[in-house]
Structure 1
Amino acid sequence: MTSFNRRSLLAGMAAASAMALAGTRTSRAQDTPGVTATEIKIGSTTSLSGPASGMGTIAKCSDAYFRMMNDQGGIAGRKINFIYYDDAFNPAKTVEQTRRLIESDNVAFLFSMLGTAPNSAVVKYINLNKVPHLLLTVNGDKWGDYQTYPWTMGFPPSSRSEAQIFAKYALSQKPGAKFALLYQNDDLGKDFVNGLRDVLGDRYETLVKAVSYEFTDPTIDSQIVTLRASNADVLISGVTAKFAAQAIRKVYELDWKPMHFVTSGAASASSTIIPVGPERAQGLITSVYLKDPSDPAWTDDAGMKNYLKFMAKYFSDGNPKEFLNVYAYTVTSVLRRLLEQCNGNFARESIMREANNLRNVEVPTLLPGVRVNTSPTNHRPLQQMQLQRWEGQGYIRFGNIIEGASL
């Protein structure tokens, strides 16, 4: 072989090697969208305006938590770039902003997106593109459907399980009780209908007076008046925070004294009960899975102390006693654990694999005994709750930790 031919062969081999390496690098870049040697992009949509704007504090608090993580070195040497957009709780805007996050911002995955209706508008698109859609701020039972939506996972306990727990407790106190149900006309509210049906079975039609409302309705006063006329012993409000406050106020004005249950996401002491007036909420029952920073029981708790230090340093504009901020701190702590389990491999498949592999995760702001667990066939990370009742100026927990999955 001539030296020219040898040189040509070597040059060709080098070119082929370079092309193969370039192909590998391209493949790796495609496998890890939103990830560089120094950064991980995470996306979310939330409600910074509109009727659910109070819920926007969750994304703001998570953003503060990511800043704390970055100050501590980030994850595997990478800083978190958290990009979140306002959708005003409007599903059409959620579609627009989600496409922006995936197609323009090229985020690695989506985290803690707010609301059942907004997430419902994009879940098929997200799963079609195989983007992890994780630890959503939703209460719908549908978000545990790992077969239909394998790339999607909620975080809070299911509203259906919560409704079952409410109904079972009510019947334990008043066998044969008649129920009034106020529910939002969407997947969230319908979970309360289904939860009551699970418990009451064939008796549902005779024992339950159910009235719905639309999220865009200005008030639910007329619905409460209708339910009051049923003379029910138990009122279950499967509502969001704005309507929970209205329901509490109207029930009080009507001098109606049912055993009143409100879903945990709408029963915050600081954003619902205090503004409406603690005297109007006496006896109100809800469920809880987080420690309440306004509860004196946690004054000397190490986890609560760390949370309060975090709030003072990184989110001083936020209300440390707001349930939604404790929630944000907790869910972002779980995400941190998930990312640590990735061991530096932040391909979307790896992120989803670890999302399906959370085992007995303890977070210091969860109630003692409450653990986060997932698997490829379990997309319901939290299934444990405890009941609490508003008495005087605060909530008093009672009973044992209840396992929703056992219902």
Structure 2
Amino acid sequence: MSVRVLCACLAVLAIATPASAQKKYDPGASDTEIKIGQTMPFGGPVSAAGTVGHASIAYFETLNRNGGINGRKIALSALDDGYSPPKAVELTRKLVESEKVLLLYGSVGTPTNAAVQKYLNAKKVPQLFIATGASRFKDPKTFPWTVSMLPSYEAEGKALARYVLQTVTAPKIAIVYQNDDLGKDFAHGFKAGLGDKAKSLIVSEQTFEVTDTTVDSQIIAAKASGANVLYFAGTQKYGAMHIRARHDLGWKPLHLVCSTSSSIQAVLKPAGFDRAEGVISTAYAKDPFDPAWASDTDTRDYLDWLKANLPQGNPRDTGYAVGYIASFMTAHVLRQAGDTLTRDNVLRIATHLKDLNVPMLLPGITAHTTPTDYSVINRFQVQRFDGRSWTRVGKVISGE
């Protein structure tokens, strides 16, 4: 065979070589399967947030029934960390070292995600679209493998502080917040939003621990300060507690709560709708029961999906929407990765989102990232609870 003919044959073979020759896999990926993981507070003090995990499981079960992603089934391992940082470390190591997942995504909680952040970055395992807005998770220079999904807690705090300055003539403010990274970030942002007036306007500052059985004493002290504005920053269980405590004292300040304590099902219903009426918070996703979205395609699709896949769940629980949104974005990244299912490529795609339209995000809000700015969602809507549902106040805003 001549050299010319041989070269021609090799060229033909190169063109005809199966696509598998170009496939690249890291641990957790194969021709038939992609393994991913998450830890969730299915039990423990913030078990109400476990709905994020239930939605995540249901999302990928639905996707698998419809063929998976690029011909591969998605094997999601969702483990119960009980909102315990040591447990989160143990289970995350299991996911990476024993189950050999390609990535982790959507895990709930500031302290639990913080406990595994250094480990995952040292291992160069993507920690994607985690359900926290704490500032430590928006630092691509120090932790390039960590991408937080929720709007910055500090940015939200700033926006609500500006709302107070715009709506209250002579504010006297009491702050009650959870004594961890979550509560401190919200409080820090709120103070920053007040600017130079913070010291003179804040008349009471109380903290509580996630192991506390009540926050009654903090709310009593806040009322005794003479405040006409109450800002609360904490998780769901304590969100419901403090609303009940404030109402039962007969205290009627302008009442603001952080977005993590704005769930109708997990916070406002346990507190009592009558007690929660008038509360102010923020949102980045559509309320599926807001009449404004009655004919919205995304909202109808979401409610149909919930009914078909989580019939036991309450569609008013915002945790389901958080899991749905995080899962959609993770599926998008894996779909875009094609046959290059390496951790480097997954991270590259996740940090180059270009105004991605995500189901259930409010109009004007898209998912956007760059290699130097991992703020996936950085705009939100101020809202007021009318005793039945949330109603929007003003336009979509940024806290930056």
What secondary structure does 1:41 align onto?
A: strand
Could you tell me how far apart the structure 2 residues matched to 1:375 and 1:207 are?
Answer: 37
Q: Is 2:288 the counterpart of 1:321?
A: no
Q: Is 2:246 the counterpart of 1:247?
A: no
Task: Tell me how far 1:274 sits from its aligned partner.
Answer: 1.9
Could you tell me how far apart the structure 2 residues matched to 1:327 and 1:44 are?
Answer: 14
Aligned partner letter, 2:380: M
Task: Tell me how far 1:145 sits from its aligned partner.
Answer: 0.8
Q: Is 2:123 the counterpart of 1:125?
A: no
Task: Tell me how far 1:320 sits from its aligned partner.
Answer: 1.8
Could you tell me how far apart the structure 1 residues matched to 2:105 and 2:367 are?
Answer: 16
Aligned partner letter, 1:311: L
Could you tell me how far apart the structure 2 residues matched to 1:236 and 1:170 are?
Answer: 10
Aligned partner letter, 2:368: N
Residue 271 of structure 1 corresponds to which residue in structure 2?
266
Could you tell me how far apart the structure 2 residues matched to 1:374 and 1:367 are?
Answer: 18
Aligned partner letter, 1:188: L
Can you list the C-alpha shifts for 1:343-394, whole angstroms capped at 9, x where unaligned?
2211000000001111111123111111110011111100110111011322
Q: Give yes or no for contact 1:127–1:150 (8 Å, CA) kept in 2.
A: yes
Can you list the C-alpha shifts for 1:79-105, whole angstroms capped at 9, x where unaligned?
100001111101010110000000000
Aligned partner letter, 2:43: S
Q: Give yes or no for contact 2:42–2:49 (8 Å, CA) kept in 1.
A: yes
| Alignment counterpart, residue 329 of structure 2, candidates 326, 330, 334 | 334
Could you tell me how far apart the structure 2 residues matched to 1:120 and 1:364 are?
Answer: 28
Q: Is 2:201 the counterpart of 1:207?
A: yes
Could you tell me how far apart the structure 1 residues matched to 2:332 and 2:398 are?
Answer: 23
Residue 280 of structure 1 corresponds to which residue in structure 2?
275
Could you tell me how far apart the structure 2 residues matched to 1:193 and 1:267 are?
Answer: 16
Q: Is 2:124 the counterpart of 1:137?
A: no
Residue 19 of structure 1 corresponds to which residue in structure 2?
none
Aligned partner letter, 1:264: S
| Alignment counterpart, residue 67 of structure 2, candidates 65, 73, 76 | 73
What secondary structure does 2:154 align onto?
A: helix
Q: Give yes or no for contact 2:284–2:365 (8 Å, CA) kept in 1.
A: yes
Residue 110 of structure 2 corresponds to which residue in structure 1?
116
Could you tell me how far apart the structure 2 residues matched to 1:212 and 1:81 are?
Answer: 40
Task: Tell me how far 1:321 sits from its aligned partner.
Answer: 2.0
Residue 183 of structure 1 corresponds to which residue in structure 2?
177
Could you tell me how far apart the structure 1 residues matched to 2:155 and 2:327 are?
Answer: 23
Residue 284 of structure 2 corresponds to which residue in structure 1?
289
The structure whose Rg is larger is 1
Q: Give yes or no for contact 1:32–1:108 (8 Å, CA) kept in 2.
A: yes
Could you tell me how far apart the structure 2 residues matched to 1:60 and 1:200 are?
Answer: 38
Residue 36 of structure 2 corresponds to which residue in structure 1?
42
Could you tell me how far apart the structure 1 residues matched to 2:315 and 2:386 are?
Answer: 21
Residue 393 of structure 2 corresponds to which residue in structure 1?
398
Residue 90 of structure 1 corresponds to which residue in structure 2?
84
Task: Tell me how far 1:197 sits from its aligned partner.
Answer: 2.7
Q: Give yes or no for contact 1:326–1:365 (8 Å, CA) kept in 2.
A: yes
The TM-score normalised by the length of structure 1 is: 0.90
Could you tell me how far apart the structure 2 residues matched to 1:315 and 1:143 are?
Answer: 30
What secondary structure does 2:380 align onto?
A: strand
RMSD of aligned alpha carbons? 1.7
Residue 16 of structure 1 corresponds to which residue in structure 2?
none
Residue 169 of structure 1 corresponds to which residue in structure 2?
163
What secondary structure does 2:285 align onto?
A: coil
Aligned partner letter, 1:247: H
Q: Give yes or no for contact 1:61–1:318 (8 Å, CA) kept in 2.
A: no
Can you list the C-alpha shifts for 1:40-94, whole angstroms capped at 9, x where unaligned?
0001001111111111111111111101111221111111000011111010101
Could you tell me how far apart the structure 2 residues matched to 1:33 and 1:54 are?
Answer: 32
Q: Which blocks of at least 5 consecutive residues in structure 2 are unaligned?
A: 1-20
What secondary structure does 1:387 align onto?
A: strand
Higher relative contact order (CA 8 A, sep 6+): 2
Percent identity between matched residues is: 39
Task: Tell me how far 1:160 sits from its aligned partner.
Answer: 0.7
What secondary structure does 1:399 align onto?
A: coil
Q: Give yes or no for contact 1:355–1:374 (8 Å, CA) kept in 2.
A: yes
Aligned partner letter, 2:46: A
Can you list the C-alpha shifts for 1:166-221, whole angstroms capped at 9, x where unaligned?
10001001144121111111111111221123122333222212111111111111
Residue 4 of structure 2 corresponds to which residue in structure 1?
none
Residue 383 of structure 1 corresponds to which residue in structure 2?
378
Farther off after superposition, 295-304 or 95-104: 295-304
Could you tell me how far apart the structure 2 residues matched to 1:324 and 1:49 are?
Answer: 15
Could you tell me how far apart the structure 1 residues matched to 2:387 and 2:57 are?
Answer: 34
When the two structures are aligned, how many residues end up with a matched partner?
Answer: 380
| Alignment counterpart, residue 357 of structure 1, candidates 346, 352, 363 | 352
Aligned partner letter, 2:388: Q
Aligned partner letter, 1:402: I
Could you tell me how far apart the structure 1 residues matched to 2:108 and 2:304 are?
Answer: 26
Residue 4 of structure 1 corresponds to which residue in structure 2?
none
What secondary structure does 1:400 align onto?
A: coil
Q: Is 2:333 the counterpart of 1:306?
A: no
Q: Is 2:209 the counterpart of 1:219?
A: no
After superposition, residues 191-202 of structure 1 pair within 5 angstroms as: 191-202=185-196
What secondary structure does 2:341 align onto?
A: coil
Could you tell me how far apart the structure 2 residues matched to 1:114 and 1:353 are?
Answer: 23
Aligned partner letter, 2:68: G
Q: Give yes or no for contact 2:161–2:191 (8 Å, CA) kept in 1.
A: no
Task: Tell me how far 1:342 sits from its aligned partner.
Answer: 1.2
Task: Tell me how far 1:282 sits from its aligned partner.
Answer: 1.5
Q: Is 2:145 the counterpart of 1:151?
A: yes
Can you list the C-alpha shifts for 1:245-266, whole angstroms capped at 9, x where unaligned?
0111011011111111111121
Can you list the C-alpha shifts for 1:147-169, whole angstroms capped at 9, x where unaligned?
11100011011111111011000
Could you tell me how far apart the structure 2 residues matched to 1:238 and 1:300 are?
Answer: 34
What secondary structure does 2:177 align onto?
A: strand
